[in-house]
Amino acid sequence: MRLIPVVAASVVASTAAYGLALAADVTLELVEPITEYKIYVAENTEELVKDTEEFVAAIKAGDVEKAKSLFAPTRTSYEAVEPIAELFSDLDVSIDARADDYEQGEKDPKFTGFHRIEYVLWEQNTTDGLGEYADQLQADVTDLNDRINSLTFPPEVVVGGAAALMEEVAATKISGEEDRYSRTDLWDFQANFDGSEKIFELLKPIVSEQDPDFVAKVQANFDQVDETLAKYKTDHGFESYEKLTDSDRALLASRVNTLAEDLSTLRGKLGLD
């Protein structure tokens, strides 16, 4: 979607001092990208429900190896929608919390979801005792999928989500603490970057009018992340986090921090408070 040239020109002139181009009613312009984003999220949560069914079935069948092999691929559609996790924070806690979110760590029964299952599968090499957690996970992702349609997507949450997820990757993921038992972090990285980039992509046409350099820089950084992660692709997914070299980790850390820095201006650039 493009600004009508006349409007764009006057907007740029009046706000040039700030380097901001405020659309008269930016929300109007955002209708299309946000609608499209909602479709993207809905597709992902639908996929998540399906994949979780298979994952849960493997757990219930006591098939440890199969459950392990399905862990990372099942998570990716969840990780891809994480930019807007604040819209369903109650479910996020029960689906994706980590042991260190609880003072008692793994001993706390409230530690549920993907990482509880990951812990038991890898650290204890069994599916024993996972039945309830698996049911809970299935119920949670189904609930999430059901909610999406009726959920309002406030523009500032969607636009801000691109940066918010990069902040999270920078602060609590890049060091490999998310999938600490399975070492499947690179799967999550790819899904997180994809999820954040999706938002950027949808907004690109609007932003590139006022700040083509910004768009080029952000795109180049996403591309470099993709190129770096591509080195670790395997037939089925990704190498273990342990294979990530120090220099590639430093590069990813630099790019994710710069993406967070740059994308943090996205809301302002679009005139959103």
211 binds other proteins (CB under 8 A): no
Shortest gap between Cβ of 78 and other proteins (angstroms)?
27
- Gap between the Cα atoms of 9 and 227, Å rounded: 37
Q: Is residue 265 close enough to count as binding other proteins by CB under 8 A?
A: yes
Nearest in space to 87 (alpha carbons), one of 37, 49, 32, 134: 37
Query: How far apart are CB 127 and other proteins at their closest, in Å?
Result: 35
CB atoms under 10 Å from CB of 268, counted, come to: 14
**Calpha distance 113→135 (Å, rounded):** 10
Residue number, 114 or 222, with CB nearest to other proteins: 222
Residue 12 as a binder of other proteins (CB under 8 A): the answer is no
Should residue 61 be labelled a site residue for other proteins when binding is judged by CB under 8 A?
Answer: no
Q: Name which of 133, 102, 140, 105 is nearest 117 in CA terms.
A: 133
Least Cβ distance, residue 250 to other proteins (angstroms) = 4
Among 8, 12, 20, 93, binds other proteins (CB under 8 A): 20
Q: At its nearest, how many Å lie between other proteins and the CB of residue 141?
A: 34
**Closest separation between CB of residue 188 and other proteins, Å?**
20
Quote the radius of gyration of the chain (alpha carbons, Å): 20
What tokens were used for 252?
């990813």
Q: Is 19 in the site for other proteins (CB under 8 A)?
A: yes
- Taking the least distance from each CB to other proteins, the nearer of 235 and 246 is 246
**Which part of the chain contacts other proteins (CB under 8 A), choosing from 60-68, 115-123, 129-137, 242-250?**
242-250
Q: How far is the CB of 164 from other proteins (least distance, A)?
A: 13
Residues in 115-134 at the binding interface with other proteins, rule: CB under 8 A: none
Residue 154 binds other proteins (CB under 8 A): no
Q: Which long-range contacts (CB under 8 A, 24 or more apart) does 69-72 make?
A: 69/236, 71/114, 71/117, 71/118, 71/121, 71/182, 71/184, 72/179, 72/182, 72/184, 72/187, 72/188, 72/237, 72/238
Q: Answer whether 80's CB lies under 8 Å from 151's CB.
A: no
- Report if residue 219 touches other proteins, rule: CB under 8 A: no
Shorter beta-carbon distance to other proteins: residue 43 or 167? 167
Task: Rule CB under 8 A: say whether 258 interacts with other proteins.
Answer: yes
Task: Rule CB under 8 A: say whether 24 interacts with other proteins.
Answer: no
Which range in 65-73, 102-110, 133-141, 259-267 contacts other proteins by CB under 8 A?
A: 259-267
Number of residues in contact with other proteins under rule CB under 8 A: 23
Measured from the CB atom, the residue of 53 and 261 that comes closer to other proteins is 261
* Residues in touch with other proteins (CB under 8 A): 15, 18-20, 221, 246-247, 250-251, 253-255, 257-258, 261, 264-265, 267-269, 271-273
